[in-house]
Amino acid sequence: MVVLVLGSGAREHALVRSLTLDPSVDRVVALPGNPGIADLAGCLPGDPADPTAVVDAARSEGADLVVVGPEAPLVAGVADALQESGIPCFGPSAQAAALEGSKAFAKEVMAAAGVPTAAAHVCTTVDEVERALDATGSPYVVKEDGLAAGKGVVVTTDRARAREHATACLERADAVVVEDFLDGPEVSLFCLSDGRTVVALEPAQDFKRVGAGDTGPNTGGMGAYSPLTWAPTDLVPQVLDTVARPTVAEMARRGTPFVGVLYVGLALTADGPRVVEFNARFGDPETQVVLARLRTPLGVVLRSAAEGELSGLPELEWSPRTSVNVVVAAEHYPGTPATGDTIGGIEHAEQVEDVHVLHAGTRRETSTGDQPGGLVSSGGRVLSVVSLADDLPGARSRAYEAAGRITLRGSHTRPDIGLAAERGEVVVPGQEA
């Protein structure tokens, strides 16, 4: 099997890494990929959100399966173009991807499917925003309606800040969503769908705020860990029954079957799991830790989903070990990041037992003569340092030791990825001892 992976981040590097470990996969190609992916697979130039370019690349490479990493190609209709060309694609159609592309649409589908989620107000004017803020009260949750790379949400007790964000959202789009605040720890659950059958991966928890103790602005994600030993033992079957399967069934009823990953972002409240958001693709940084623990060959799983055959897939096998992902971010991230700075120490970091480093925002400088170009930063989240160990303290220790061996001027990591869980401080409301 030849697999074409679309995207250029650490999520795609994780997908490529796992696919190359699958005995059924003969070759992996990425469009456009990154320097880390280039060490494992072929990389093609081009725009992964250009349907024509993707179909042409899939045909020229003889791809048996295309795996879409980021959200932009999905909303652009890449999966539709591949389907029309008879090329299996793991990723939903543009209409189905609206579950991520529009928060208002996702709320509409959840309401129709009876999915438990926060009460929401879809606002089209500042006056409607003011009334919604009155109704929800503090803390205020304001969400950009369209794609925002994980950074379109503001949660604040400052009403002026909430109003400011809502106003900015309305300047870019026709609507903004104001929601009730959901208390309780958050969980990410990836649910694979072939349009009818749904199979869940293992849960993970990510860390969106840039600073320790959930301080500072939102980012695309500063790290993650899995498994979640503190989560209710019936969490996955409960979410499948109350969220994922009803949503997939509702999408099929509408004539827009969902094929790919339904990323379910959850808050574990005193009233049970509630959906915070849907995404239509693998999440970053959670993918890195989930795939590090998956023992079932990934290519077989994704092809089964793309070809409508998940119901015949054996139960997934998982490592009982713990994985931690620590993101190395560029100076000034999540503001305007510094770029072009030399990256060193990756080989040294990977000498730590059971650690691998995935590239996110990196590029190679142009080579001169016989000398290969150096590796430099090219984005906000530069690297994901992923560990495996027998327990969470060990996995945290290995990830941070390895991250400390990487050199990048002005770089920073969030120091408390998984720390509250290690200390036994993560509590689900209603389940306190």
Same domain, 53 and 27: yes
Instruction: Answer yes or no: is 108 within a domain.
Output: no
User: Pairing relation of β-strands 65-68 and 2-7?
Assistant: parallel
User: Is 173 in the same domain as 197?
Assistant: no
User: Domain check: are 401 and 418 in the same one?
Assistant: yes
Q: Is residue 248 part of a domain?
A: yes
pLDDT score for 120: 84
Residue 101 inside a domain? The answer is no
Final residue belonging to a domain, choices 78, 93, 108: 93
At 372 the pLDDT is: 67
Domain match, 82 and 171 both: no
Q: Can you give the chain as a three-state secondary structure string?
A: CEEEEEECCHHHHHHHHHHHCCCCCCEEEEEECCHHHHCCCEECCCCCCCHHHHHHHHHHHCCCEEEECCHHHHHCCHHHHHHHCCCCEECCCCCCCHHHHCHHHHHHHHHHHCCCECCEEEECCHHHHHHHHHHHCCCEEEEECCCCCCCCEEEECCHHHHHHHHHHHHHHCCCEEEECCCCCCEEEEEEEEECCCEEECCCEEECCEEECCCEEEECCCCEEEECCCCCCCCHHHHHHHHHHHHHHHHHHHCCCCCEEEEEEEEEEECCEEEEEEEECCCCCCHHHHHHHHECCCHHHHHHHHHCCCHHHCCCCCECCCEEEEEEEECCCCCCCCCCCCECECHHHHCCCCCEEEEECCEEECCCECCECCCEEECCCEEEEEEEEECCHHHHHHHHHHHHHCCECCCCECCCCCCHHHHCCCCCCCCCCC
Q: Which phi and psi angles does 220 have, rounded to 5°?
A: -75, -10
- Whole-number Å distance between alpha carbons of 166 and 164: 5
> Which domain, by its residues, includes 372?
322-422
Count Cβ atoms below 10 Å from residue 60 Cβ, excluding itself.
Answer: 11
Q: Return the CATH number at 174.
A: 3.30.1490.20
What is the pLDDT, as a whole number, of residue 371? 66
The values of phi and psi at residue 66, to 5°, are -115, 130
pLDDT for 143 = 86
CATH number at residue 250: 3.30.470.20
- Same structural domain, 265 and 293: yes
User: In this structure, are 189 and 174 located in the same domain?
Assistant: no
Q: How many domains does the chain have?
A: 4
312, 334, 366 - which closes a domain: 312
How many CB atoms are closer than 10 A to CB 47? 16
User: 326 with 304, same domain?
Assistant: no
In a domain, 317, yes or no: no
Calculate the CA 146 to chain-centre distance: 16
Whether residue 333 is found in the same domain as residue 418: yes
Residue 88 token pair? 């299996």
Contact 19, 28 (CB under 8 A): yes
Q: Identify the pLDDT of residue 238.
A: 97
Whole-angstrom Cα distance, residue 22 to residue 395? 24
**What's the residue count for the chain?**
433
- Among the candidates 59, 93, 127, a domain finishes at 93
Q: Give Cα 306 distance to the centre of its chain.
A: 19
**Residue-wise pLDDT tens for the chain (433 aa)?**
999 999 999 999 999 999 999 999 999 999 999 999 999 999 999 999 999 999 999 999 999 999 999 999 999 999 999 999 999 999 999 999 999 988 889 999 999 999 999 888 889 999 999 999 999 899 999 988 776 555 578 888 999 999 999 999 999 888 898 988 888 999 999 999 999 999 999 999 999 999 999 999 989 999 999 999 999 999 999 999 999 999 999 999 999 999 999 999 999 999 899 999 999 999 999 999 999 999 999 999 999 999 999 999 999 999 999 999 999 999 999 999 999 999 999 999 999 999 999 999 999 998 766 666 799 999 999 999 999 999 999 999 999 999 999 999 999 999 999 999 999 999 999 776 5
Same domain, 278 and 249: yes
**65 alpha carbon, distance to own chain's centre:** 20
Q: In whole angstroms, what is the distance from residue 284 CA to residue 430 CA?
A: 29
Residues 195 and 264 occupy one common structural domain: yes
Matching residue, tokens 């009233």: 271
Distance in angstroms between the alpha carbons of the first and the last residue of the chain: 50
| This model's pTM is above 0.85 | yes
Determine, yes or no, domain membership for 164: yes
* Inside any domain, residue 287: yes
Supply the pLDDT for residue 427. Answer: 92
Q: Are 223 and 205 in contact (CB under 8 A)?
A: no
- What pLDDT, on the 0 to 100 scale, is given for residue 382? 98
For residues 326 and 300, state if they share a domain.
Answer: no
Q: Is residue 11 part of a domain?
A: yes
In 3D, which of 401, 380, 378 has the Cα closest to residue 36? 378
Residue 144 has a pLDDT of 85
Long-range Cβ contact pairs of 249-256 (< 8 A, separation 24 or more):
249/113, 250/109, 250/112, 250/113, 251/96, 251/99, 251/109, 252/195, 252/196, 256/93, 256/95, 256/96
**Is there a domain that residue 106 lies in?**
no
Among 317, 6, 276, smallest CA distance to 116 is for: 276
Tokens of 131: 């009334």
pLDDT on residue 151: 53
CATH number for the domain that contains residue 20:
3.40.50.20
- Bin 217: left if φ > 0, else alpha if -120 < ψ < 50, else beta: beta
CATH code of the domain covering residue 352: 3.90.600.10
pLDDT at 153: 81
- 56 plus 82 within the same structural domain: yes
